[in-house]
Amino acid sequence: MNPPTTELRPVAGVVLLRDDNAALLQLRDDKPDIPAPGQWVFPGGHCDSGESRHDCARREFREETGYDCPDLKPLTEFSYVCPDTGAHLSLSFWKSRYDGTSPLQCFEGQEVRFMSLAEAARHHIPSYLLEVWNRALAEENSALRRD
């Protein structure tokens, strides 16, 4: 048996923003052995060995929603301890704009749908979610001012 590893396996997710600044959220399965059970999160998942965080975010998002995000831009990275499982995660988030036409489906979890910030704040969400979302919006606004 191998000794437990202290190296964190990275997790990457995508903040997909619609033109009205709503973001696509995924309702996680309500299983006690997974991080954020029964919570609304940005779609994403664990990176495969040797996979870049960018490629992971794009792959996981496509696997979970059927939507491809070819224009992902880096947003933020930080360490996070899941209060429900105690898992130590190295989170990486990327951002993209929804094209407004491609279909979105739920291939993992209970549901995916666009929500406003105010609506998301009324649901069970991880403590970092609103801060990451606000950061994505701030960067989008900053980019618009530069253009």
Provide the percentage of residues in the chain whose pLDDT is more than 70: 92
pLDDT tens for 61-95 read 999 999 999 899 999 999 999 888 888 899 999 99
pLDDT tens for 31-46 read 988 888 899 999 999 9
Statement: residue 146 has pLDDT above 80: no
Helix segments in 32-73, DSSP class H? 53-65
Structural domains in the chain plus CATH codes = 10-140 (3.90.79.10)
Of residues 1 and 105, which shows the higher confidence score? 105
Q: In this predicted structure, what is the pLDDT of residue 147?
A: 55
Q: In this predicted structure, what is the pLDDT of residue 5?
A: 43
Spell 34-64 as b/e; 16+ CB within 10 A means b: bbbebbbbbbbbebeeeeebeebbbbbbeeb
Model confidence, pTM? 0.90
Of residues 131 and 87, which shows the higher confidence score? 131
For range 49-69, the mean pLDDT: 96
Indicate left, alpha or beta for 75 from its phi (over 0: left) and psi (-120 to 50: alpha).
alpha
